[in-house]
Amino acid sequence: MSTTSGPSKRKGGSEMTGEERPAIKAKPRVEKNRVLVTGGAGFVGSHLCDYLVARGDHVICMDNFFTGSKDNIAHLLDRENFELIRHDVVEPILLEVDQIFHLACPASPVHYKYNPIKTIKTSFIGTMNMLGLAKRCRARFLISSTSEVYGDPLQHPQTEEYWGNVNPIGERSCYDEGKRAAECLTMDYHREHGQEVRIVRIFNTYGPRMALDDGRVVSNFVSQQALKNEPLTLFGDGKQTRSFQYVSDLIEGEAEGGAGFATLPPQPRHTRHTHHHPLQLIWVENTADDPSRRRPDITKAKTLLGWEPKIPLQEGLLKMVDDFKRRLRIEEGTS
């Protein structure tokens, strides 16, 4: 008796070639929804990764670790449906994905003004690369934009239709105009190629995992006043207004409600009741082009997406204080 691994015989003796063999139905290697999160190791990105991993998606987290941190996603590294790639969105990348959440870009004014040319390149080229990837994979694309596309707004509160009041050549332009160009590109891909896209304009967001040196007002106030008993630094006359949301409200809006254009909630600015020391203030010269008032009109998000914020400022700040305390203790080696 002999065995052969050569071409099999047809009835009548002629041989069947490889091309003629009936195709074996391949099992897809990935059955889960494959989701790419750029900037996935950042403050917002890492919370989004948590949410998507818990939802059962296969999450590819991509970050260049300029402002993101491995600490933010360390707890996900051994999860079977999570993988991490160190990569800068300014460089193209080939991946197979079904959905892209494009968050990569420094977001704190201190960080985005640090290297402004890199910031605008990240916004524009990074978004172009990710839209190209989405086009090739026919993936649904969502970009995290910003309330800063409104500049120093002249219309209050701001609706999605408002075009904004942006200084195109100022110190904040690298971010404001970068994101405006990224929005434009996103809509052009949608109009020209029929791509499925979403734009989320994020207003001021706070919560655990903000970098200790983030430099934005809530993290500054929490670490300065609530934890180190140092005076609060008030920029300018301190009369500027913002609307703050807790990070989990944003994540729900982005991950689930991202079916349209979402803007985020008005909440009064205050930190008074979260600490036990008397408030001390110091006034610092303000930065250029700081928007004087900002507050979203969330009517559309409420009516079209059923989205509205749930976490009151008081509750969110306490969670953030706990997180900052823990991390500051670790940093000082006193845990």
Min dist. Cβ of residue 323 to ligand UDX (A): 17
* Measured distance CA(246)–CA(141) in Å, rounded: 24
- For ligand UDX, the closer CB: 113 or 327: 113
- For ligand UDX, the closer CB: 64 or 205: 205
- The residues facing 296 across adjacent strands are 158
- Candidates 39, 42, 109, 296; binder of ligand UDX (CB under 6 A) is 109
Per-residue mark of binding to ligand UDX, 138-167 (x: CB under 6 A)? --------xxx-------------------
- For ligand UDX, the closer CB: 139 or 166: 166
Quick check: is 175 catalytic?
yes
Min dist. Cβ of residue 18 to ligand UDX (A): 56
Check whether the bond before 157 is cis (ω within 30° of 0).
Answer: yes
- Of the candidates 241, 109, 257, the one whose C-alpha atom is nearest the C-alpha of residue 171 is 109
* Measured distance CA(208)–CA(327) in Å, rounded: 10
Q: Does 115 bind ligand UDX (CB under 6 A)?
A: no
Instruction: Select which of 51, 112, 150, 175 is catalytic.
Output: 175
CA trace torsion 78, 92, 198, 255 (10° rounding): 0
Interface segment toward ligand UDX; rule CB under 6 A; list 5-13, 63-71, 214-222, 327-335: 214-222
* Structural element, H or E, at residue 123: helix 116-137
Q: Does 271 bind ligand UDX (CB under 6 A)?
A: no
- Candidates 33, 69, 159, 286; binder of ligand UDX (CB under 6 A) is 286
* Measured distance CA(237)–CA(283) in Å, rounded: 7
- Candidates 242, 245, 247, 265; binder of ligand UDX (CB under 6 A) is 242
* Measured distance CA(284)–CA(107) in Å, rounded: 21
Tell me which amino acid residue 182 is.
A
Q: Does 113 bind ligand UDX (CB under 6 A)?
A: no
Min dist. Cβ of residue 71 to ligand UDX (A): 21
* Measured distance CA(86)–CA(221) in Å, rounded: 31
* Measured distance CA(124)–CA(275) in Å, rounded: 41
- Of the candidates 102, 106, 97, the one whose C-alpha atom is nearest the C-alpha of residue 139 is 97
Min dist. Cβ of residue 95 to ligand UDX (A): 26
Q: Which spans of this chain sit near ligand UDX (rule: CB under 6 A)?
A: 107, 109, 146-148, 202-204, 216-217, 220, 233-235, 238, 240, 242, 286, 290
Residues with catalytic roles: 175
